[in-house]
Chains A and B, each alone.
Chain A
Amino acid sequence: MISTNQGLRFLVGSRSRRRMLVVGYGCFLAFLCFAFLRYQTRHGSEDMGLWFVFQLLAVLPGLLGGVRGGGLVKPFRGVHWVPMQEQGGVQTLLKPANGPAILQDISLDEREMHERDRVHFIAYTLARWFALLLFVIYGVLGALQVSWFGRVGPFFLFLLTVTLWSLPQSIILWTEPDMTEPEMEQQA
Chain B
Amino acid sequence: MRAEIVLLGKRVDMARQTRRRALVVGIYAVLAALIGGMWFADQWRATGTLVFWSAMLACRLFLGGYYYGGLVKPFTGKGPKQYDAPPSLLALKLRVYQPVLDDDNRAFRNDERELKQRDRSHYQAYQALGLAVVLAWLVADIGMIHPQWLAWIPMTPFQVFYGLTLVALMLFLTLPQCILLWTEPDMEAEG
Contacts of A76 in B (CB 8 A): 123
How far, in angstroms, from A121 to B129 measured CA to CA in the complex? 13
Q: Does A9 contact B (CB under 8 A)?
A: no
Contact A161 B137 (CB under 8 A): yes
Find residues 133-163 in chain B having any chain A CB closer than 8 Å to their own CB: 133-134, 136-138, 140-141, 144-145, 158, 161-162
Question: Which one, A121, A123, A139, contacts B49 given CB within 8 A?
Answer: A139
For A37-53 the 0/1 string (1 means CB < 8 A from B) is: 00000000111101100
How far, in angstroms, from A113 to B131 measured CA to CA in the complex? 21
Q: List 9 A-B contacts (CB under 8 A).
A: A45-B144, A67-B130, A121-B119, A124-B126, A127-B129, A127-B172, A135-B165, A158-B137, A164-B126
Contact B130 A154 (CB under 8 A): no
Contacts of A161 in B (CB 8 A): 130, 133-134, 137
Residue positions of B touching A, CB distance < 8 A: 49, 52, 66, 75, 116, 118-120, 122-123, 125-127, 129-130, 133-134, 136-138, 140-141, 144-145, 158, 161-162, 165, 168-169, 172-173, 176
Q: Does A34 contact B (CB under 8 A)?
A: no
Contact A50 B136 (CB under 8 A): no
How far, in angstroms, from A124 to B174 measured CA to CA in the complex? 12
Residue of A nearest to B125 (CB): A124
Q: Say yes or no: A153-B145 contact (C-beta < 8 A), given A54-B137, A161-B137.
A: no
From residue B129, how far is it (CB to closest CB) to chain A in Å? 7
Question: Which one, A46, A48, A120, A150, contacts B123 given CB within 8 A?
Answer: A120
Contact B169 A135 (CB under 8 A): yes
From residue B49, how far is it (CB to closest CB) to chain A in Å? 7
Contact B122 A150 (CB under 8 A): no
For A146-173 the 0/1 string (1 means CB < 8 A from B) is: 0001100110011011001100100000
From residue B70, how far is it (CB to closest CB) to chain A in Å? 16
Q: Say yes or no: A117-B120 contact (C-beta < 8 A), given A154-B161, A165-B130.
A: yes
Question: Which one, B116, B120, B125, B158, contacts A153 given CB within 8 A?
Answer: B158
Contact A51 B141 (CB under 8 A): yes
Contact B49 A157 (CB under 8 A): no
Question: Which one, A50, A116, A150, A164, contacts B129 given CB within 8 A?
Answer: A164
How far, in angstroms, from A149 to B66 measured CA to CA in the complex? 29
From residue A82, how far is it (CB to closest CB) to chain B in Å? 21
Q: Say yes or no: A128-B172 contact (C-beta < 8 A), given A45-B144, A164-B133.
A: yes
From residue B119, how far is it (CB to closest CB) to chain A in Å? 4
Query: What 9 pairs across the A-B complex have the smallest Cβ distances?
Result: A117-B119, A45-B144, A120-B123, A121-B122, A124-B122, A117-B123, A121-B119, A161-B133, A120-B126
Contacts of B134 in A (CB 8 A): 57, 161
Q: Say yes or no: A50-B119 contact (C-beta < 8 A), given A149-B158, A153-B162.
A: no
How far, in angstroms, from A48 to B146 measured CA to CA in the complex? 10
From residue A166, how far is it (CB to closest CB) to chain B in Å? 10
Contacts of A128 in B (CB 8 A): 66, 172-173
From residue A95, how far is it (CB to closest CB) to chain B in Å? 26
Contact A121 B138 (CB under 8 A): no
Residue of A nearest to B146 (CB): A46
Contacts of A160 in B (CB 8 A): 133
Contacts of A77 in B (CB 8 A): 127
Contacts of A121 in B (CB 8 A): 75, 118-119, 122-123
Contact B144 A154 (CB under 8 A): yes
Contact A153 B144 (CB under 8 A): no
Contact A47 B145 (CB under 8 A): yes
Contact B122 A117 (CB under 8 A): yes
